[in-house]
Chains A and B, each alone.
Chain A
Amino acid sequence: AQSVTQLDSQVPVFEEAPVELRCNYSSSVSVYLFWYVQYPNQGLQLLLKYLSGSTLVKGINGFEAEFNKSQTSFHLRKPSVHISDTAEYFCAVSDTGLYEKLTFGTGTRLTIIP
């Protein structure tokens, strides 16, 4: 079984400042990692994913994440945030042998301060 920890439940950031949202996972098997974004009153949308290959993955809206196997982390970053990035961000993990079954973290609410 896998688990995901998102230590920061809320992150306020000034507009145009950089941001990092932290995600750590626990698993006894190889994993795939995902970040999903949920805008207010909407369903979740895939932001980016790590399946294999380069540990630095780029997603939509200028976000990127780096897979660090030794630290079991998959932190999400953006060099300059915009008001429209205000949303809840969920990290998720799946077993590479059963990757349709996702385990989600509890989410991080990103608030952009004008």
Chain B
Amino acid sequence: DAGVIQSPRHEVTEMGQEVTLRCKPISGHDYLFWYRQTMMRGLELLIYFNNNVPIDDSGMPEDRFSAKMPNASFSTLKIQPSEPRDSAVYFCASGSQGRKDTQYFGPGTRLTVL
């Protein structure tokens, strides 16, 4: 199994630009999570989906952030417009209904907003 795949691995952009992060969960998993990791705030859950439906987006910082899961094998996290304070590592993780107690993390996308 390829594990959770995230792209790009690194993204450098300028303030005001739109950024799209992508995630492919493990095949057969029906939960998908987006996290943000910063030095100041640690690892925060932004949003998670079950069967492609957003269940809890209370961690999404503001309207500039949006996430979609159009099908079971693909999700995006979009920031528009981006700001320097959005610089962080963004992780995607997936899990299955039968094993909700275990999440499998991707390698992360390191975002730098100049």
A57: CB under 8 A from chain B? no
Known contacts A104-B43, A107-B43; is-contact A44 B105 (Cβ 8 Å)? yes
Query: Nearest Cβ distance between residue B41 and chain A, in whole angstroms?
Result: 8
Q: In the bound complex, do residue B43 and residue A32 qualify as a contact, i.e. CB atoms below 8 Å apart?
A: no
How many pairs of residues, A versus B, come closer than 8 Å at their CB atoms? 47
Q: Identify the stretch in A22-30, A60-68, A72-80, A95-103 within 8 Å (CB) of chain B at 4 or more residues.
A: A95-103
Among A45, A49, A100, A104, point to the contact of B31 (Cβ < 8 A).
A100
Contact, CB under 8 Å: B105 / A43: yes
Binary contact track A92-114/B, C-beta < 8 Å → 1, others 0: 00000001111111110000000
Q: Is the CB of A105 within 8 A of B107?
A: no
Binding site secondary structure of chain B? strand
Q: Is the CB of B31 within 8 A of A43?
A: no
Central interface residue in B43, B91, B102, B108, by most chain A CB within 10 Å:
B43
Cross-chain contact of B91 among A44, A99, A105, A107 (Cβ < 8 A): A44
Whole-angstrom distance between the Cβ of A14 and the nearest chain B Cβ: 27
* A90 interfacial by beta-carbon distance below 8 Å: yes
Residues of the B chain whose Cβ atoms lie less than 8 Å from the Cβ of A36: 105
| Given A100-B31, A100-B48, A107-B43, A41 contacting B107 (CB threshold 8 A) | yes
Residue of chain B at shortest CB distance from A34: B101
User: Complex Cα distance A17/B106, Å?
Assistant: 31
**What band does the interface of chain A fall in when counting residues whose beta carbon is under 8 Å from B?**
20 to 34
A and B contact pairs by CB, cutoff 8 A, 13 listed = A32-B101, A43-B106, A43-B107, A44-B43, A44-B103, A44-B105, A45-B105, A90-B43, A100-B33, A100-B100, A103-B45, A106-B42, A107-B43
- Chain B residues close to A by CB (< 8 Å): 4, 31, 33, 42-45, 48, 50, 56, 91, 93, 95, 100-103, 105-108
Given A51-B101, A99-B101, 12 additional A-B pairs, CB 8 A: A34-B101, A36-B105, A43-B107, A44-B93, A44-B105, A45-B105, A49-B102, A99-B100, A100-B100, A104-B42, A104-B44, A105-B42
